[in-house]
């Protein structure tokens, strides 16, 4: 009985998207549909890239990695959230919270770096097409992916270990729909202002630098396209680049707004609304933005369907 009480004392309570105890059937159905569509879209994209040899190129290799990360990302948060909608218990164990925090930070950091590498791939392909086979060979692609996963994992491990060694106050209510670093800092009993500077520094490296690289690379791509292409080609390039930039901006800007603010300026309801974009909406949009507007992917789908 004592062990059970000790376990209950270390468990956390997730409030969900709305106030604790409030259910919303429409929101639950919407999230389940989005989750299913996001999973299906990313799985189909990975299968197409694996099965069609014409898609065995650096760009699609990186895109398959992005789809895998999106599957893992949305699967880290949504299943527990939907389970809480259906159950009377809103608890998550201490270990479960540690794992969820670590996985989310690994996937978020890795995806942020990978998107930067993907923009470099497009920059080389369009601005330096003759050097593309050398600058984006198989070894370099694997090196990029390994760097992204390693950097994201090390960053996540450091922050997760540090935060969960801090003393938490008696209140175990996390005013969020998953265990996220800023929400956990609200429960810490000591001053974390110095630690928050390290979080901001990590975000500037893992989020801001890749985002700046994306903006710079697409600016170079558009300048080359406007110099070489016809009016129709220019329109298509602007349309494609703008859609990619909108999705990337959605991911980076919402992530930066959450992780670069001191916890004293955080609003739980605002944090939950912003988190929906980089945990649910972005994994849903990525496979469609990067594939439905792509003739190679559409052609591979038609060939696969006979």
pLDDT class of 199 with cuts at 50, 70, 90: very high
**Per-residue pLDDT for 2 more than 50?**
no
Instruction: State mean pLDDT over 44-55.
Output: 90
**Per-residue pLDDT for 22 more than 90?**
no
Q: Name the pairing type of β-strands 173-174 and 12-14.
A: parallel
As a whole-number percent, the residues of the chain with pLDDT over 70 amount to 90
- Please tell me which residue, 16 or 138, carries the higher pLDDT value: 138
Question: For 135-160, what is each residue's pLDDT tens digit?
Answer: 999 999 999 999 999 999 999 999 99
Contact predicate 54/300, CB 8 Å: yes
Amino acid 145: pLDDT: 96
pLDDT class of 252 with cuts at 50, 70, 90: very high
Beta pairing partners, 13 = 91, 173
**Per-residue pLDDT for 35 more than 60?**
yes
**CB atoms near residue 37 (< 10 Å):** 14
pLDDT, the chain, mean: 86
Instruction: State mean pLDDT over 287-298.
Output: 78
Contact predicate 245/214, CB 8 Å: yes
Instruction: State mean pLDDT over 260-282.
Output: 86
**Per-residue pLDDT for 161 more than 80?**
yes
What CA–CA distance (Å, rounded) separates 144 from 208?
18
**Per-residue pLDDT for 18 more than 80?**
no
pLDDT class of 23 with cuts at 50, 70, 90: low
Amino acid 19: pLDDT: 53
Q: How far apart, in Å, are the Cα atoms of 236 and each of 61, 127, 232, 286? A: 23, 17, 6, 18
Amino acid 304: pLDDT: 78
**pTM for the whole thing?**
0.90
Beta pairing partners, 180 = none
Contact predicate 31/80, CB 8 Å: no
pLDDT class of 21 with cuts at 50, 70, 90: very low
**What is the torsional sign of CA 39, 110, 54, 128?**
positive
């Amino acid at each position: 009985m004592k062990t059970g009480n000790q376990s209950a004392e270390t468990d956390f309570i997730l409030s969900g998207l709305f106030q604790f105890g409030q259910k919303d059937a429409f929101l639950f159905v919407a999230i389940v549909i989005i989750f299913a569509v996001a999973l299906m879209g990313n799985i189909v994209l990975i299968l197409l890239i694996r099965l069609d040899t014409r898609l065995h190129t650096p760009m699609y290799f990186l895109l398959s990695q992005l789809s895998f990360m999106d599957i893992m990302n949305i699967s880290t948060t949504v299943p527990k959230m939907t389970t809480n909608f259906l159950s009377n218990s809103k608890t998550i164990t201490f270990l479960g919270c540690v794992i969820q925090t670590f996985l989310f930070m690994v996937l978020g950091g890795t995806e942020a770096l990978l998107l930067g590498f993907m923009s470099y791939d497009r920059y080389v392909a369009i601005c330096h097409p003759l050097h593309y086979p050398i600058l984006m060979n198989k070894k370099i692609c694997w090196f990029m992916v390994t760097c992204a996963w390693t950097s994201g994992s090390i960053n996540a491990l450091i922050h997760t270990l540090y935060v969960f060694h801090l003393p938490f106050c008696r209140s175990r209510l996390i005013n969020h729909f998953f265990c996220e670093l800023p929400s956990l800092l609200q429960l810490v009993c000591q001053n974390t202002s110095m630690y928050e500077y390290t979080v901001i520094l990590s975000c500037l490296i893992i989020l801001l630098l890749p985002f700046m690289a994306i903006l710079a690379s697409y600016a170079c791509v558009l300048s080359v396209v406007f110099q070489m292409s016809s009016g129709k080609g220019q329109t298509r390039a602007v349309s494609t680049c703008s859609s990619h930039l909108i999705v990337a901006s959605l991911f980076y800007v919402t992530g930066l707004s959450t992780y670069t603010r001191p916890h004293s300026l955080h609003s739980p309801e605002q944090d939950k609304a912003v988190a929906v974009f980089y945990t649910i909406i972005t994994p849903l949009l990525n496979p469609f933005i990067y594939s439905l507007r792509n003739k190679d992917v559409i052609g591979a789908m038609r060939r696969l369907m006979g």
